[in-house]
Structure 1
Amino acid sequence: MTDLQPNILLIHGHDLGRHLGCYGVDIDTPRIDALADEGALFERHFASAPQCSPSRGALMTGRVPHVNGLMGLAHGSWELHDDEQILPQYLSDVGYETHLFGIQHITQDTDRLGYDHVHSEGNLYPGVSPTVHQANRARNVASVFKSFLVKSAYDAPFFASVGFFECHRVEEKNGRFGFDAGYYRADGPESVRSLPYLPDRRGIRHDLGEMHGMVYAIDDAVGTILNALAAAGIEEETLVIFTTEHGIAFPRAKGSCYDAGIEAALILRYPGVVDAGKRYDDLVSNIDVLPTVLDFVGEDCPVGIDGQSVAGLIADSVSGYDTRERIFAEMTWHDMYNPVRAIRTDRYKYIRSFWHLPMVYLPADVFASESGREIREVDGVPTRQYEELYDLRDAPQEDDDVVHEPRYQEIRRELSRQLYEWMDETDDLLLDGPVPPGDYDDIRSWPHDST
């Protein structure tokens, strides 16, 4: 590793999963694919939660949602614990200038995050008004970052969080993608390959084709940012991290603990340090990003961090790496109460639901979408079981639940034991019963009749 602390550039998309060419999807993403060719790509990187704020909180703290406190959406009155530190604060403590560009979606109080410079405009979390989020379109965020590089002197290393609104669905009433018809270049349904975990229907492919327009916008923005790094002459001294917070906004993906819901892209490029052009199939969680960054800047990981560094896996100059045997995922609150915990190993996925809900939970934007209507109106949604078990070798799409099959009972019991043990060790509130909403104290204070 170099003696100098690298600049850290964290680029993150929204509701993107691994829907990229470099992950084998039939979509043209040349700039992100080139980044993967120049760096390290993680084929089995998973989010700690299949939803925005809790997953982003886990990414930025290195701690799972029920540990850091962000168990629901930031604009739903959920917050990190008061004493919780996030990545830019750790880096600021060791001499970094910290910058926020675009979406963050961890809190409504940006000052809470401790950035030295905030370059965003308008709200910093998704809402229903397209006008509010004009500044956070990928193209606009990339332009602001490019201007920052042109104007800046680099007396100290910088950390920059660059977040795009895309690919979040915009129109709440019908779940459509895109701000206007002319901004994104959608693919037609006839040219889109169907998702492997959903039925092949024209309506779903039409929906997916619209999302492709947002993916292209992300790819273009990444190209603008990487070109700006090169023009500034600092790409050799910058660790670039590209990721997203959970799976795409489709049924059985966003809002679910199936792989399609918790899968997330993760690419790291650090020329001369990270081995270029390699792909890793190790199990990795997004809580591992923070300790990895601290490893690359030469800092010890604080006590109490749930994640572990993967720097020793991808860089010869860093020693020490422990292979993960399992990752955990969770969901508690989104636009409704949906308490689920899950454990995934190399071969198996065990999902434990703590509430009686439909088999496929559809967040509001997915529910209203063309894909959501196809699933709930054409196929129907059966009631969810409290336990699910999938043999990922035989059923990689998690479409064959073997939880009641006799030959899997030992596996079911062992994974259940490990899951409950983890919940107990991490003081998961769910073990004590239903978790109230983030605004529970506000609701209790409302005037009401005693009758």
Structure 2
Amino acid sequence: MHNVIYLHTHDMGRYIGAYGYGVETPAMDAFAEQSTLFRHAYCCGPTCSPSRVGLLTGRTPHQEGMLGLAHRGFHLEYPEHHLGAHLSKHGFSTALFGIQHEFNGRLGDMPYGRIETGGHLDTPLERDKWATARACDFLKEDHDQPFFMSFGLFYPHRPFLRASEYKGRIRPPEVLPDVAPIREDMEDYACSVGFADECLGTVLDEIKAHGYFDNSIIILTTDHGMAFPNMKCSLTDHGIGVALLLHYPGNPTSGKQLDSLVSHIDIFPTICDLICLEFPEHLQGHSFVPLLKGENSKARNEVFSEVTYHAAYEPKRCIRTHRYKLILRWAPLTYPLANCDSSPSKSFLRQHDWPQNPLPEAELYDLVLDPQEQSNLAGDQFIEVVERDLRQRLMDWMRQTDDPLLSGHVERPAGALVNRNDSEEPGNTDYEEIKAP
């Protein structure tokens, strides 16, 4: 039976060389040449814990109770649904090296037989280096049963590593202005993702050196978009779009790029399909193995994504099809600045009155004619049939998945830390008072 190796970065989106961006990521680029690269893969929620829970349970974050961040007091209600738990039940050994974001408040629920996070070290740089070395040690060992290995990197999460010099030649994301402070911020991102790439390259080299490349399913992905304004915690493609590379023995689409829509929620059933394991009843995703084998031309017609809490309360949901995106918001219809990571880019935009205006209840975008999602078509008469259809499909999904937003304001759990909506930064201050029920 194949091993399953899950390689994941933090806050990377698709901003790597393999997706055509001007950052140097030679290890991931080389891996892309031996994998299927999905151009249109999307996360279940553009925040850390919900996105990972969606991927690792194959179910929507709100169904699993992960409506916010695990390190702030939100919990995965059904740890037995985790991919690691399912594989362990079927004879896999399980190991975690580096970060995870599903069990920060309940470490005892983690479904790993071996856990080495580097939490005793002082800096993210030291922890990522340590986790890389421990993962390589694991791969050098003899294994008498198939294994599930999760290797998680902190980078390129903020605070970024500093670039040794600023050349001012890197282009910011299209959603941000091309000005010196943001270019310098992007150069620090490039430095940070370059370090993550080195760590991944070291582990991938060890995978190949010990023969695991030929008998393993390897997933390389990230949780959500980059930690820049209008990206992370945003339901635009800048927030929900993710890099996704998949390798497995005999993959007929190895080295190819696919434009079909896929969701992180589809990875769990795809792994089960590839290794001929039963599908747990709780799964909401769909295997995209038929897509890889050429039996279907597309995996799905739409993907869904969600935010309820990040640092602050910001309830919103979206549906994305091949052509259109509909985003719906619930009160409050104001932008909580605490949901944007502190950064030079954020500081620059705030100096220029970002954001000041109330947010719309609905946003509708034609992703063919408006790929940057700048022209909101919601309420326009000429496209009302499309909007009505997308609203119906989104509400049907919410009803089918028992979305708590359908009942109104979603209360946070007792003890969870949530910033007030007028907080300007996501630091550990300005928390709302939270009382036990």
TM-score normalised by L of structure 1: 0.88
Give the secondary structure class of the aligned counterpart of 2:245.
Answer: strand
Aligned to 1:112: 109
Aligned to 1:384: 359
| CA distances 1:323-373 after superposition (whole Å, capped 9, x unpaired) | 3111101000011100000010011000000023335x544562x311111
| CA distances 1:265-300 after superposition (whole Å, capped 9, x unpaired) | 110112323531111111111001111111111112
| CA distances 1:280-322 after superposition (whole Å, capped 9, x unpaired) | 1111110011111111111121123111111222247xx7786
The reply on whether 1:421 has 2:396 as its aligned counterpart is yes
Comparing 335-344 with 189-198, greater Cα deviation is found at 189-198
Aligned to 2:429: none
Give the secondary structure class of the aligned counterpart of 1:357.
Answer: coil
Alpha carbons of structure 1 residues 262 and 362: separation in structure 2 relative to 1, 3 Å: farther
Deviation of 1:41 (Å): 0.5
Deviation of 1:82 (Å): 3.8
Aligned to 1:374: 348
Aligned to 1:251: 229
Give the secondary structure class of the aligned counterpart of 2:12.
Answer: coil
Deviation of 1:377 (Å): 2.0
The reply on whether 1:29 has 2:25 as its aligned counterpart is yes
Query: Match for 2:37 among 19, 23, 41?
Result: 41
Unpaired segments of 5 or more residues in structure 2? Answer: 417-432
Aligned to 2:77: 81
Deviation of 1:394 (Å): 1.0
Give the secondary structure class of the aligned counterpart of 1:66.
Answer: coil
Contact residue 79 and residue 110 of structure 2 kept, 8 A: no
Aligned to 2:132: 142
Alpha carbons of structure 1 residues 269 and 363: separation in structure 2 relative to 1, 3 Å: farther
Alpha carbons of structure 1 residues 160 and 274: separation in structure 2 relative to 1, 3 Å: farther
| CA distances 1:51-106 after superposition (whole Å, capped 9, x unpaired) | 00010111110001111111100011111114641001111111111000100011
The reply on whether 1:219 has 2:197 as its aligned counterpart is yes
| Residue identity matched to 2:354 | G
Aligned to 1:331: 307
Give the secondary structure class of the aligned counterpart of 1:19.
Answer: coil
After TM superposition, list the pairs within 5 Å mapping 1:283-362 onto structure 2: 283-315=261-293, 323-358=299-334, 361-362=336-337
Alpha carbons of structure 1 residues 357 and 197: separation in structure 2 relative to 1, 3 Å: same
| CA distances 1:191-237 after superposition (whole Å, capped 9, x unpaired) | 21121111111111111111111110111111101111122122211
Contact residue 57 and residue 106 of structure 1 kept, 8 A: yes
Aligned to 2:47: 51
Alpha carbons of structure 1 residues 83 and 203: separation in structure 2 relative to 1, 3 Å: closer
Alpha carbons of structure 1 residues 353 and 261: separation in structure 2 relative to 1, 3 Å: same
The reply on whether 1:70 has 2:66 as its aligned counterpart is yes
Distance 1:300 1:97 in 2: 18
Comparing 269-278 with 429-438, greater Cα deviation is found at 269-278
Query: Match for 2:142 among 142, 149, 153?
Result: 153
Comparing 15-24 with 80-89, greater Cα deviation is found at 80-89
Alpha carbons of structure 1 residues 200 and 36: separation in structure 2 relative to 1, 3 Å: same
Deviation of 1:168 (Å): 1.2
Alpha carbons of structure 1 residues 189 and 265: separation in structure 2 relative to 1, 3 Å: same
| Residue identity matched to 1:329 | S
Over the residues paired in the alignment, what is the CA RMSD in angstroms?
2.0
Distance 2:337 2:434 in 1: 25
Deviation of 1:166 (Å): 0.5
Contact residue 39 and residue 274 of structure 1 kept, 8 A: no
Comparing 262-271 with 335-344, greater Cα deviation is found at 262-271
Contact residue 260 and residue 298 of structure 2 kept, 8 A: no
Contact residue 96 and residue 149 of structure 2 kept, 8 A: yes
Contact residue 100 and residue 117 of structure 1 kept, 8 A: yes
| Residue identity matched to 2:168 | E
Distance 1:186 1:270 in 2: 37
Deviation of 1:380 (Å): 2.6
Deviation of 1:406 (Å): 1.6
Contact residue 31 and residue 223 of structure 1 kept, 8 A: yes
TM-score normalised by L of structure 2: 0.91
| Residue identity matched to 2:276 | G
Instruction: Number of aligned residue pairs: give it.
Output: 419
Contact residue 187 and residue 210 of structure 1 kept, 8 A: no
Unpaired segments of 5 or more residues in structure 1? Answer: 124-129, 171-176, 447-451
| Residue identity matched to 1:375 | L
Alpha carbons of structure 1 residues 186 and 164: separation in structure 2 relative to 1, 3 Å: farther
Aligned to 1:264: 242
Distance 2:23 2:37 in 1: 17
Query: Match for 1:61 among 57, 63, 66?
Result: 57
| Residue identity matched to 1:51 | T
Query: Match for 1:121 among 111, 118, 132?
Result: 118
Aligned to 1:203: 181
Deviation of 1:445 (Å): 3.8
Distance 2:259 2:107 in 1: 36
Contact residue 47 and residue 264 of structure 1 kept, 8 A: yes
Distance 1:187 1:92 in 2: 47
| Residue identity matched to 2:135 | F
Deviation of 1:443 (Å): 3.2
Contact residue 72 and residue 438 of structure 1 kept, 8 A: no
Distance 2:137 2:340 in 1: 34
| CA distances 1:136-164 after superposition (whole Å, capped 9, x unpaired) | 32x332221112222x1121111100000
